[in-house]
Amino acid sequence: MKLTQIRNATLKVEYAGTTFLIDPMLSGKGGFPGFPGTVNSQIANPTVELPLPMSEILAVDAVIVTHTHQDHWDDTAKTVIPKDMLIFTQNARDQWDIQMSWFHNTRALEEQNEFHGIALTKTPGQHGRGEILEGLMGDILGDVCGIVFTHPREKTLYIAGDTVWYKGVQENLARYKPDVIVLNSGDARVLPNEPIIMGKEDVYEVYKTAPSATIIASHMEAVNHATLSRKELRAFLLERGTTSRVLVPEDGESYSF
Ligand SMILES: [Zn+2]
């Protein structure tokens, strides 16, 4: 497999001969406002430009949208992705949303799915902890998913999606034993100061729990509410001695496994 970190959670995954685009946020720098109710909401999103030409980003067989928050599925993605592109969604509700933007080749993921001989397994995630998951903010954060890719010729890939470290991720690691794990690691926070994706300590928990996996830190330095920089994460990893198994790519960087 080949994984390309594009920007934020947007990834290109070339797996068993099929190319996927994950969570496309494709706007130019500053294309939409910061998220209300989050840390640093005065900063417009995305905070950096795309590292690759759009034609290269869109040269895929299918798109997977783990949830429809704007930093994973934005208005530019709705405009530039061809309307007949196959779009996988986490559930019927997101499928409906995406169909409302005139996409007519959508597929809501079941627990187990098959596409071009690849098994795609939908996994649960938890977009925050404790009280923020209750009430209005819980509704806003909503449902999220991750995806496990398996194929007889490939290593197992687990894209955890927008989730914090919690027992669901621990169970996914035990059940699927992934060789490569993508973690959304930018420690995005809602007010007053609550994490809604992984931070450095969560990455370290995954590292300890999956002792032979390679971990890729994604969803970094691209949206207003991300509070963990690559520099800070790398320094933390160095201090913990984890650097050989945890990769912190720049936007545009690729790895093959
Ligand atoms: Zn996100």
Could you tell me if 34 and 86 are in contact, meaning their C-beta atoms sit under 8 angstroms apart?
no
Distance 103 CA to ligand 1 centre (A): 22
What 3-state DSSP class applies to 188?
A: strand
**Which amino acid belongs to residue 228?**
L
In the reported structure, the alpha carbon of residue 45 is separated from the centroid of ligand 1 by a whole-number distance in angstroms of: 12
DSSP string, 131-164: GGGSHHHHHHH---EEEEEE-TTS--EEE--S--
Q: How far is the CA of 230 from the centre of ligand 1 (A)?
A: 16
CATH number at residue 112: 3.60.15.10
- d(CA 152, ligand 1 centre) in Å: 30
What's the gap in Å between 182 CA and the centre of ligand 1?
13
pLDDT (mean) for 220-232: 96
Sheet with strand 106-108: strands edge to edge: 106-108, 86-89, 62-65, 18-22, 10-15, 2-7, 254-256
User: Considering the domain boundaries, does residue 256 fall inside one?
Assistant: no
Q: List helix spans (H) across 9-132.
A: 54-57, 75-80, 92-99
- Token pair of 68 as six digits: 């429809």
- Does any domain span residue 46? yes
CA of 133 to the centre of ligand 1 (A): 15
CA 150 to each of CA 22, 23, 44, 155, 159: distance values in angstroms, whole numbers, following the listed order: 16, 19, 37, 7, 12
How far is the centre of ligand 1, averaged over its atoms, from the C-alpha of 153 (Å)?
Answer: 30
CA nearest 20: which of 64, 56, 53, 74?
A: 64
Taking alpha carbons only, the member of 252, 62, 47, 73 closest to residue 161 is 73
Say if 67 falls within a structural domain: yes
CA distances from 129 to 180, 193, 251 (A): 25, 12, 28
Structural domain boundaries, residue 158? 2-249
> How far from 224 is each of 89, 189, 192, CA to CA, in Å?
25, 9, 15
First to last CA, the chain: 5
pLDDT digits (tens, 9 = 90+) for 174-211: 999 999 999 999 999 998 888 999 999 999 999 999 99
Specify if 195 maps to a domain: yes
| pLDDT-based confidence at residue 96 (cuts at 50, 70, 90) | very high
pLDDT reading at 113 higher than 80:
yes
**Residue 124 within a domain:** yes
**Which H helix or E strand runs over 64?**
strand 62-65
pLDDT band of residue 129 (cuts 50, 70, 90) is confident
- If you measure from the C-alpha of residue 100 to the centroid of ligand 1, how many angstroms do you get, rounded to a whole number? 21
**Residue 255 resides in a domain:** no
Other Cβ atoms closer than 10 A to 15:
21
CA 125 / ligand 1 centre spacing (Å): 12
Longest dimension (CA), the chain: 49
Closest CA to 99 of 110, 87, 111: 87
Residue 36 is predicted with a pLDDT of 93
What is the number of domains present in the chain?
A: 1
Tallying the residues shown for the chain, one arrives at: 257
| pLDDT mean over 134-159 | 88
Examine residue 254 and state whether it is found in any structural domain, yes or no: no
Asked if the structure places residue 189 within a domain, the reply is yes
Q: How confident is the model at residue 139 (pLDDT cuts 50, 70, 90)?
A: confident
Q: What percent of the chain has pLDDT over 90?
A: 90
User: What residues does 188 pair with on adjacent strands?
Assistant: 226
- Cα of 156 vs centre of ligand 1, distance in Å, is 23
- Give 219 Cα–ligand 1 centroid separation in angstroms: 7
CA of 244 to the centre of ligand 1 (A): 26
Instruction: Specify the pLDDT at position 111.
Output: 96
Q: Is the pLDDT of residue 143 over 80?
A: yes
Stated pTM of the model: 0.96
Please tell me the distance from the alpha carbon of residue 128 to that of residue 165, in angstroms, as a whole number. Answer: 9
